[in-house]
Amino acid sequence: MSLDHRLSEEHEELRRTVEEFAHDVVAPKIGDYYERHEFPYEIVAEMGRMGLFGLPFPEEYGGMGGDYLALGIALEELARVDSSVAITLEAGVSLGAMPVYRFGTEEQKRAWLPKLCAGEMLGAFGLTEPGAGSDAGGSRTTAVRDGDEWVINGSKCFITNSGTDITGLVTVTAVTGRKPDGRPRISSIIVPSGTPGFTVAAPYSKVGWNASDTRELSFSDVRVPVENLLGEEGRGYAQFLRILDEGRIAIAALATGLAQGCVDESVKYAKERHSFGRPIAEYQAIQFKIADMEMRAHMARVGWRDAASRLVNGEPFKKEAAMAKLYSSTIAVDNAREATQVHGGYGFMNEYPVARMWRDSKILEIGEGTSEVQRMLIARELGLGA
């Protein structure tokens, strides 16, 4: 019996549809948005109309009735052209809407998911803090119960989709008490945009992902109803670990797309660029470089699809997700570096997509769990360490 990671007819149709959208709609416009550091509302709205933000959610909540494999396929095809658009979708779905779907009450799901699935509203994931990145359990943001309200104080940083004109909510992790052993009891609470005391800072000046929205958030006596608690009190950390496990598959798919986009651009350029009277594609040094890039992208694809299939089939996937995320992010950086080299001086010019890919690749080794954290998770799953 052999494993078959080829796509079903339905998934392949989705792949072709998103591929066409990425090349026909995203590619001609995104460079200008990127140069201006401007959020591409027009493109995001079209993605919403296509149903991309609702891919893995049931139709009863306005979703498309698909699965996490479908989301990964869409992310890979978008990232072959641009990562800012891809991360907007990834964060909107796996970090913004998924916590509500996985852990929300029926009332919370019906209140938030239809607009999130339609792309009319974006959700954000408020986990990272200035002093608590990989150590998310070190959160200093607090939420104190005051009658029928939570009073939230603290700050979050590097939060994607948190300050757009269509951001509707941020799910925030906060310390709501202490366990008997003194460790913090962390809970997840939905904070709607515009709530008094909830301040969204100006966009960061970033190395890459310049057409996506990333900001710092602060909470000063922010009051929300107790009903905004997401899931059980004290289970917020465990909930977000589950969300991050899933999100690593999505980031792996995105990283694979960037790696494949580097191949696409390098093949095209190598056939067009002449040196010493011949296309550089005829030189073995270039051929071998691009062949290695293609090999890496292919193996990354096998990895994330394997992790996604385990998730979809209800099997353990934590180790496979960590391996997929670690490998794909590493080779995305490798491919971006090599693609820049293939392009020579033009690879250093922002008008060429590989320049964006080079700038966008590094964050993939950091966001949603650093490479060091992935290695810790893999080792732990192997029974190593404490």
CB 13 within 8 Å of CB 73: no
What is the Cα–Cα distance from 213 to 152, expressed in whole angstroms? 23
Closest CA to 262 of 211, 349, 332: 332
Distance of CA 164 to the CA centre of its chain: 16
Dihedrals phi, psi of 110, to nearest 5 degrees: -70, -25
Residue 243: closest CA among 56, 110, 78, 379: 56
Q: Is 187 helix (H, G, I), strand (E, B) or coil?
A: strand
Report how far residue 153's alpha carbon sits from residue 224's, in angstroms, rounded to the nearest whole number.
12
| 141 SS3 class | coil
**Does residue 120 have an active-site annotation?**
no
The partner residues of 274 in beta bridges, in order of sequence, read 279
Q: Report how far residue 161's alpha carbon sits from residue 282's, in angstroms, rounded to the nearest whole number.
A: 44
Measured CA angle at 248 (ends 331, 245), to 5 deg: 145
Measure the CA–CA gap between 353 and 339, rounded to whole angstroms: 10
Q: Any bridge partners for residue 28, and if so which? A: none
* Rounded-to-integer distance, Cα 37 and Cα 30, Å: 10
Active-site residue identified among 246, 368, 372, 381: 368
Strands 149-160 and 278-279, by their bridges, are unpaired
Q: Which amino acid is at 123?
A: G
Q: How many residues would you count in the chain?
A: 386
As to burial, measured by CB atoms within 10 angstroms (0-12 exposed, 13-18 middle, 19+ buried), residue 108 is buried
CB-based contact 306:312 (threshold 8 Å): no
The dihedral through the CA atoms of 120, 126, 130, 136 has a sign that is: negative
Question: Is 310 in contact with 316 (CB distance < 8 Å)?
Answer: yes
Active-site residue list:
368
